[in-house]
Amino acid sequence: MDSDQIMRLVYLGVWGTVLISYFLIARSQSLGQSLRQLMLWGLIFVGVAAGYGLWQDMTSQNGAISVGDGEIILRVQRDGHFHLDLDINGTPVSFLIDTGATDLVLSQSDAERVGLNPSELPYLGQARTANGIVGLARVTLDEVVLSHDGIEFRDTRVPAFVNEGQLDVSLLGMGYLRRYARISIEGDRLILER
């Protein structure tokens, strides 16, 4: 059981204790009316705080946590994949980590956001995807930055491709991931280390 699962159990335990205590105190006849109401409101407050903490934990979209020097750990997201936000030429872009992809591949919309003009690119390459063959245009990104909690990995002149087809999310493939000294998947965590 990892630390995230333990925290969820703690939240649920606190919330369950609050509910049980609330019903016991509400039915108690021996406590004074004011004391009983004060305790009930206190339990309501603790229950709401525990519920909010559990909700935040379960719906957290930021899967990156940093640990130690030069190490970033990504948690698997609700869709079962690892996601990572990078700054490309100063613009934040969300990527799906795809160890089956060869390179960093930008969607048309992300390419446009980072300052490229997809309609003017030469789509000379091809990729075989689950949806068929799509054209690829080779580009060079001036700067790619991964930063989280004071850890920053900065790369310049990063080769990438722009996908000519419909791509909902940009892909972070092995061409970029090989820049790290260590890449490992341990359960529901992916570890990147330089």
> What is the per-residue pLDDT for 171?
93
E-state strands within 1-130: 64-66, 71-75, 83-88, 91-97, 105-106, 125-129
> What is the per-residue pLDDT for 170?
93
Q: What is the largest CA-CA distance in the chain?
A: 82
Which is nearest to 105 in space by CA: 156, 159, 157, 40? 159
> 113: exposed, middle or buried (C-beta count within 10 Å: 0-12, 13-18, 19+)?
middle
Condensed to tens digits (0 to 9), the pLDDT of residues 52-66 reads 666 655 555 445 565
> What is the per-residue pLDDT for 136?
92
- Which residues are CB-neighbours of 60 under 8 A, at least 6 positions away? none
Q: State whether the Cα torsion 86-92-98-104 is positive or negative.
A: negative
In this predicted structure, the answer to whether residue 69 has a pLDDT above a threshold of 60 is yes
In this predicted structure, the answer to whether residue 137 has a pLDDT above a threshold of 70 is yes
- Counting residues of the chain whose pLDDT is more than 70, the rounded percentage is 78
- As a whole number, mean pLDDT of residues 93-118 equals 91
Query: In angstroms, rounded to a whole number, what is the distance separating the alpha carbons of residues 99 and 184?
Result: 11
> What is the per-residue pLDDT for 63?
57
- Greater confidence (74 vs 13) lies with 74
Condensed to tens digits (0 to 9), the pLDDT of residues 24-57 reads 766 666 667 767 676 777 777 777 777 766 665 5
- As a whole number, mean pLDDT of residues 175-188 equals 88
- Which residues are CB-neighbours of 91 under 8 A, at least 6 positions away? 113, 114, 115
In this predicted structure, the answer to whether residue 130 has a pLDDT above a threshold of 60 is yes
> What is the per-residue pLDDT for 57?
58
> What is the per-residue pLDDT for 139?
95
